[in-house]
């Protein structure tokens, strides 16, 4: 019998874990499920995240195509963040994770 080998690099779970590796990634997606927000609005909703970490996770989510960053050519600069179709498609999964967490984690 041939032994099966696990190809972690091509595993779908492994690939998605790269997208969601930021500590705040899923929380940012949840916050953006409310609609388009500016950086300061996101930060206001997540006061425990540093601006550096928020910027890092926003850039990573944008690079993977989960969120869209819209820059308006005005002074001062106006930047808005929203979920892409990919990000919106993740919301039912995020809701399932939320249900699981509420059932099995203590507050």
Domain ranges of the chain: 12-104
- What is the pTM (predicted TM-score) of this model? 0.86
Rounded Cα distance, 46 and 56, in Å: 14
Residue appearing with tokens 């590796």: 21
Closest CA to 69 of 56, 57, 80, 55: 80
Whether domain 12-104 has CATH 3.10.580.10: no
Ranges of the chain with pLDDT below 70: 1-4, 107
H-helix segments, the chain: 12-19, 25-32, 39-45, 51-63, 85-104
DSSP letter string over 51-77? Answer: HHHHHHHHHHHHHTTSEEEEEE--SS-
Question: Tell me, what's the pLDDT at 15?
Answer: 79
pLDDT in tens, 84-99: 999 999 999 999 999 9
């Amino acid at each position: 019998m041939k032994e099966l080998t696990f190809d972690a690099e091509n595993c779908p779970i492994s690939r998605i874990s790269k997208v969601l590796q930021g500590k705040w990634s899923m929380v940012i997606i949840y916050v953006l499920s409310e609609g388009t927000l500016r950086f300061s609005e996101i930060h206001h909703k997540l006061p425990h995240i540093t601006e550096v970490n928020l910027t890092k996770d926003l850039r990573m989510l944008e690079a993977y195509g989960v969120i869209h960053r819209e820059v308006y050519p005005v002074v001062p600069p106006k930047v808005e963040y929203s979920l892409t179709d990919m990000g919106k498609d993740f919301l039912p999964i995020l809701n399932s994770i939320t249900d699981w967490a509420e059932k099995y984690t203590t507050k």
